[in-house]
Amino acid sequence: MSERNFTALSVARAAAVRARRCDSAATRALVMLLAIIVGAFPFAARASEVTVIRLDGTRIAASQIDATVIRLMQEARIPGAGIAIFNDGAIVYSKTYGERDRATHEPLTPDSIMTAASLTKAAFTVMVLQLVAEGVLDLDRPVFEYLPKPLPEYALYRDLAPDRRFEQITLRMLLNHTSGLPNWRRFTDDHKLRIYFLPGSRFAYSGEGIALAQMVVETVAGKSVEELMRERIFQPLGMTRTSMVWEPRFEGDYANAYDEEGKSLGPQRRRTGDAAGSMQTTLHDYARFAKAVMDGELLHDKSTAEMFSPQIRIVSAHEFPTLAAETTTANDSIHLSYGLGWGLYWTPYGEAFFKEGHDEGWRHYVVCFPQPRSGILIMTNSSNGEDLYGSLLEVLIRDTYTPYEWEGFKKPPKPASKTGRDWGQVAGGPRSTR
């Protein structure tokens, strides 16, 4: 699909989603008609003709974007990468570079299947908040109360029996990573599951927490996470090449993952849906999702505000290892926090929400600024992918505020802006934390 047609189709799909949310049948019909007209009109420029407007108002041409991405990929030895850039709520630039398979030299395409890794968590959170808005779930009810038997009677949670603090864990804590659970028990010395601090008292990123949330959601909804995500997220947005599990139709165009030395790890043919990281998707599809989140297409305003409300202030020096005790004040100026499913920070351009995707051979990053409705999605099929982020953020969109040290990202050697993050308190600041 051409860049022109893809952008038009994105607008048409967004209009269609809005139509489904309208109360009036006449209004729905009118919006759908506009969607058809807009979708048929080739108004968007081709990628080669695009000029991207960066956060500071400066512009960068497609040729400069291409040169920057290609140079950085070569320096970091990255086989394939995809970039999508948002301006004023539209996907104005979407392009893939390099190879999805180094052995056969097949190019990475915007429709090549890639494992989303932890980008999955953000999409799962949106689906959960839909259920919360419908009254199916309550963010502040202890999750053990939703289960037909005590939590420690489930084999995966038997280790928690001696620690009654599991009764304090809520869905909110699982989605904002304050449950006290580790990232994954397999990374602990004895591989046993424990609660490491009072639930709700501090931030510690936890895949185990998302896994528990998945079990609760599936139990209450009576459906698998694959069904729920397909019905509530993928189908409404037209994410036709996205699934929580591997599907045979993906075999025609998928990317292999590559480790730090360039060894192929192949694709991840996941057979079971995992809310923490099994989503199979593409650059085109996840860009559609990020745009929908920024535009509030999947959630009502109240739910969107809740998702992007700071739930917990982050004072840890690093995101990983998750249970490290070291703290820092380095991110105080940007009010680094966590919402529900997304990280948050504040800049002169307003609030930003972000999410990383990190798995063996897969490195992805998305950050959006709802106030100017701008942002960027970066997807790579390499464990070296994080070496791209800093330079791409600063050069392509002039984001000089991402907390590189906390994220564990490589800092750009030559910042694009001298202002950096030395701008003090944002007028108004973030909403109060929980």
User: pLDDT tens for residues 87-104?
Assistant: 999 999 999 999 999 999
Confidence band of 29 (pLDDT split at 50, 70, 90): very low
Binned at pLDDT 50, 70 and 90, residue 343 comes out as very high
Q: What is the pLDDT of residues 148-175, one digit of tens each?
A: 999 999 999 999 999 999 999 999 999 9
Report pLDDT digits (tens) over 172-223: 999 999 999 999 999 999 999 999 999 999 999 999 999 999 999 999 999 9
* Amino acid sitting at position 170: T
Nearest to 127 by CA among 60, 208, 223: 223
What is this structure's pTM? 0.87
Per-residue pLDDT, 413: 80
Task: Using the predicted structure, report yes or no on whether residue 434 has a pLDDT greater than 60.
Answer: no
Residue ranges covered by each domain of the chain = 1-44
For 257, the token pair is 């993952």
